[in-house]
Amino acid sequence: MTLIALAAASACAFVACAAVCAVGARASSQTCATLRGKRLLSSHAIKLVEQTEEARGVVYACVPPRGRVHLLGLASDDTSTRAYEVTVPAHAGMWLALDFRNQIGFHTFEEIGKACQAASGRCYRFFAEGFPEPGLEAEVPQLRFSLQRVVINKFGQLALALANYKTVQIVGFGSGGGRRLLDSGPQAQIPSASLRLEGHTVRWLNAGAPRSASP
C-alpha cells in the first residue's frame, strides 16, 4: 500500500472508530421487535439490518423476538456519494461473516471482514486491506491480497481464500479469532472455489488433490 493510501486508511479507521462509539448507544435503546432498516439477510432466526445515517450504513443484529440489539459495525463514504457497501458473504446458525467496504476519498477504498455472533454481538476481524482505484492498481504489481471466498460454521469457525496476482492462501480462524495459514500456492494450483467448511474441518484442493485441516 502506498503512503498516501496508508494515511487515508488510517484516517478512515480513526473516523470509523469515533462513529462506532457515537452510534453504539443507539443499539441499547432499540428492541428487536422495533428494529427497522434494509434487511441484509433473509432469515427467521436472525434479524440483520442496515440503517442509513448520512453517508454511512450502520449494521445491527438481534435474535427475534426479544433478543438484545447489537451494533456489529458500519461502512462509510467520505465523498458523500454513498459508495460504501455492506454484504454478507456467509452465515451459519447465529454466526455471520460480514464485509464492510468504506470509500476513502475518490481514489481509495478500505475493505473490512468481520465474523459476528448475532445473539451476543461478539465479533472478530478476519480481513482488512486498503485498495486504490482500479486505474491506479494497474500501475503496480497487485501484491496485496483480496478476499475471494469465505465460509463459516455455526460454531464461529471460519475459513477464507485470499489471492493476489499469483498466489492463493487458505486461512483458517477459530471462534475466538485465532488465525492459521493452512496452505499457499499458485492460483492455478489452488482454486478458491474448492474451499469448504464441513463441521470443524476445512477442505480444499491443491493440484487436484484433496486437503483438509482444522481452522
Domain boundary among 124, 140, 156: 140
Residues 12 and 83 in one domain: yes
Structural domains of the chain, count: 2
Amino acid at position 142, single letter? Q
pTM score over 0.75: yes
CA nearest neighbour of 116 among 124, 108, 126: 124
**Residue 59 half-sphere exposure, CB side, CA atoms within 13 Å?**
29
Please say whether the beta carbons of 86 and 65 come within 8 A: no
Residues 110 and 148 in one domain: no
Residues 37 and 135 in one domain: yes
Which cell numbers hold the place of 172?
483458517
Residues 107 and 54 in one domain: yes
In a structure prediction context, what are the per-residue pLDDT tens digits for the chain, which is 215 residues long? 444 444 544 544 444 455 555 565 566 678 999 999 999 998 999 999 999 987 899 999 999 999 999 999 999 987 777 778 999 999 999 999 999 998 886 667 789 999 999 999 999 999 998 876 655 555 455 668 999 999 999 999 999 999 998 999 999 999 999 999 999 999 999 999 999 999 999 999 999 999 999 99
Give the Cα separation of 151 and 11 in Å (integer).
30
Q: In what order do the strands lie in the sheet with 209-213?
A: 196-198, 201-206, 209-213
Residues 115 and 156 in one domain: no
